[in-house]
Amino acid sequence: MVVFKSPKEIEKIRISNQIVADILAKLKKEVKAGVTTLYLNEVAERLARKKNALPAFKGYKGYPYSLCTSVNNVVVHGLPSKKSLVEGDIVSLDFGVLFDGYYGDSAITVPVGKISKSAKRLILTTKESLYKGITKAVPGGRLSDISHAIQSHVEAAGYSVVRVFVGHGIGS
């Protein structure tokens, strides 16, 4: 089902996503060997509340955290823990807020110190695929054009997409 957003709704979604982007940028600076993902979760929640935003994931279907933290081979929606990050890890931080009735949601992948060439290549390929998909997000375009651009780039690099986690809508 296609749901069109009004300019006012789009602006509210943009503001919510800017809050998420600002918080993720701050979290990125906190990622280093010795830090726990539970600590990153606490920072994310504190920063959201400081901006009068609610952490969107906390309490959703019983989820107890504000942040999803996926370390190394965990594909998505990993749970924050007391385990410390170590040099060479890669960690994805997935965060969302509810602000003024609208959601913002984004994720970033961050290297912990010096990482392997294969980890660098993975991060680069996923970032490139994101931008290839964005170029296909045009008025009148089809969602399949976006997914095809992403999947083609990922597969050309020797990777595959995880078909059960392919995205979701955003809004109120």
Domain boundaries, the chain: 1-112, 116-172
pLDDT of the residue at 4: 83
- What's the token pair of residue 141? 């375009």
pLDDT at 74: 87
Is residue 69 exposed (0-12), middle (13-18) or buried (19+ Cβ within 10 Å)?
buried
Domain 1-112 adopts which CATH fold? Creatine Amidinohydrolase (3.90.230)
114-134 burial string, b = 16+ CB within 10 Å, else e?
A: ebeeebeebbebbeebeebbe
Alpha helix (H) residue ranges in 32-116: 37-50
Secondary structure letter of residue 56 according to DSSP: S
Q: What is the pLDDT of residue 166?
A: 64
C-alpha span between 164 and 49 (Å, rounded): 31
Helix (H, G, I), strand (E, B) or coil at 57: coil
pLDDT of residue 163: 80
pTM value surpassing 0.85: yes
Q: What is the pLDDT of residue 164?
A: 76
Q: Are 57 and 68 in contact (CB under 8 A)?
A: yes
Q: How many CB atoms lie within 10 A of CB 8?
A: 9
User: With b meaning 16 or more CB within 10 Å and e meaning fewer, what string describes 139-166?
Assistant: eeeeeeebeebbbebbeeeeeeeeeeee
Residues in the chain with pLDDT values less than 50: none
H helix or E strand, kind and range, residue 51 = none
